[in-house]
Amino acid sequence: MTGIEERVSRAFAQAAERAPRLTASAAERLETGYRRRRHRSQTLLAAAAVTVVAGGMAVGLRGAGDGRALPAAGPAKVPSAAISATARPVEQVWPQAVWKIPVKDSEGRELHPVALTDDGTLLVQAWREFAQPEVLYLYDLTGGNLRKITDVRRPRKALGGAGNFSVGEGVVAWRTSTKTSAHLWTAPLTGGEARQVAEHETGGDTIDSLAVAKGAIVFSVLEGGVFSVPVNGGEVTPVERGTGLNLLSWPWAGSPGTWSPQSGAPFTHLVNLETGQTSDAAPASQGTQLLACGVQSCLETTSGGVRAFTRPRDGSEQREVPTGFQIPEPPGQSRFYVRTLQSDAPGLGLYDLKTGTLVDLGIREEATQGEVPVADRAGRMMTYLTKSGRYVIDLSRIP
C-alpha cells in the first residue's frame, strides 16, 4: 500500500467514526444513489484529481490524467500545466478573502470550520480524534479570538454524532438522529445552553440538508420532502411546494437529490420554496452528459470523460473547465475550481474561470494530511489543512 493509499484509508476510517449511523433502509438508499452518481461520473474522475467526501472528511488523490491542458471549446483559454508552477500564493492574490486560523483549541481538540457568518466570524466545531463534535465556537477573523458558544448535546440513544450545522436568525442549529427520528437543536450565537426544539419521526430516513431562515429551521430528508419548525420550537410541518424535494441552498430545493436513487444529474429540477419559481436545467449538449447542477450552473462532461464544461442552467455560454476537479459538482460561486498544479512538487491550486486567475493553495501531496479544499453547500467557504496551518477562504469576497 502506498503512502497516499494509507492516508486515504485512515481518512475513511476517521470519517466513518464521525458519520451518522444510518438505518439499514436509509443506508441502502444512500448506497443506491451513490452507485448511480459514481457510474455517471467515473470516466470524468479517472482523468482528474479526485476528491472523495465521506462523513464530512475530504480525501485527495493524485489525478490519473497526465495534466495536459484541454483544447478550449470557446474564446476562454484554459491554463496549461506548464504555467501552473508560476501561480502565486492565494493569500497574496486575494488577501481580503483568506485567513489562517488555529488548528486546535486550548483543550487540544481539533477545530473544523463550519460556516461563515455575516458579521466577520466563523462557526467552528471542535472534536478530539475519532470523536464526535463536542463544542461549538465563534472565531473572530479580525481579532483572532475564539469564543465558546455551547457544548454539543445529543440524546442518549443517538446514532453517530451531530451534524448539518447551520447559522441564521441569531442561532446555530443542528440535528442528531436515532433509529426512528431526528432531533433538532439550537443554541444562541451569543452563547448559552443548547436546547432541543423539535423531534421529527423519520421512519428510518435521515436528514440530508438543513438551513435556518425566516425564523425557522428548514430541512429535507434523504428520500425527499422539505419540512420546517420554528427556531424557538413547535410543530414540524411540511413546507409548501417541498414534497419529494431535497434542500439545496435555501430557498432552493429540487430533484434528484445528491444521494437520491433517482436517475439523472442532481438538482436538474429546482423550485424556489418562497416564490414558487421553477428552474429546469437544459439537457446536455450533443456528445456530453450532465454531471451535477447548482442554483446557477451545471457541470457536464464528454462521454469518455476527456473534456468537461460548465454552463448556466439554461445551457448558454458553455465554457471548458481545466483539468483537476475536486468533486463532480458545480463550481463554488459558479467560478472557482480546485485543480492540480504541475511542478517539481505537485500540489493543488484554485482556478477562477471568470478572470483566468490561477493561485497556489500551498497544498502539496505530502502536506494534505488526507484533506483538500471543499466548498460548503452554499459555495461560499472553502477550508483546508496544510503543514503550516488551517486556511479559510471566503469565495464571496473575491471580486
Of 273-287, 340-354, 381-395, give the lowest mean pLDDT range. 340-354
d(CA 349, CA 363): 8
pLDDT at 229: 97
d(CA 239, CA 275): 12
Question: Dihedral angle at the C-alpha atoms of 333, 334, 338, 340, nearest 10 degrees?
Answer: -150
What predicted TM-score, i.e. pTM, was given to this entire model?
A: 0.77
pLDDT at 146: 95
Of 68-72, 188-192, 309-313, 366-370, give the lowest mean pLDDT range. 68-72
Work out the average pLDDT over 162-179. 92
d(CA 60, CA 374): 10
Residue with cell 489525478: 63
In this structure, the number of other CB atoms found within 10 A of the CB of residue 161 comes to 23
d(CA 399, CA 174): 32
DSSP H helices, 84-145, are 90-93
d(CA 279, CA 304): 28
pLDDT at 303: 73
Higher pLDDT, 15 or 388: 388
Of 72-86, 100-114, 226-240, 326-340, give the lowest mean pLDDT range. 72-86
pLDDT at 5: 36
Question: Dihedral angle at the C-alpha atoms of 371, 158, 243, 224, nearest 10 degrees?
Answer: 50
pLDDT at 238: 97
Decide if pLDDT at 304 tops 50: yes
Contact 218, 226 (CB under 8 A): yes
CA–CA–CA angle 191, 137, 119 (5° rounding): 80
d(CA 217, CA 229): 5
Work out the average pLDDT over 164-188. 93
Q: Residue 308 — very low, low, confident or very high, per pLDDT cuts 50/70/90?
A: confident
Q: Residue 364 — very low, low, confident or very high, per pLDDT cuts 50/70/90?
A: confident
Contact 270, 284 (CB under 8 A): no
Higher pLDDT, 343 or 20: 343
Choose among 350, 396, 356: nearest CA to 92.
Answer: 350
Decide if pLDDT at 39 tops 80: no
d(CA 88, CA 361): 9
pLDDT at 371: 66
Choose among 68, 70, 75: nearest CA to 308.
Answer: 70
Highest mean pLDDT among 58-72, 90-104, 296-310, 375-389: 90-104
3-state SS class at 98: strand
**Share of residues in the chain with pLDDT > 70 (%):** 72
Residue 256: cis peptide before it, omega within 30 degrees of 0: yes
Q: Kindly list the strands in the beta sheet with 308-312, ordered across the sheet, starting from the edge strand earlier in the chain.
A: 288-293, 297-302, 308-312, 319-320
88-89/358-364 β-pairing: parallel
303 half-sphere exposure, CB direction, 13 A CA radius? 3
d(CA 332, CA 329): 9
Of 62-66, 94-98, 373-377, give the lowest mean pLDDT range. 62-66
Q: Which domains does the chain have, with CATH numbers?
A: 3-397 (2.130.10)
pLDDT at 264: 82
pLDDT digits 0-9 by tens, 42-51 = 333 333 333 3
Higher pLDDT, 7 or 388: 388
Task: Copy the grid coordinates of residue 63.
Answer: 489525478
For 32, left (φ over 0), alpha (ψ -120 to 50), or beta? Answer: alpha
pLDDT at 327: 55
pLDDT at 28: 44
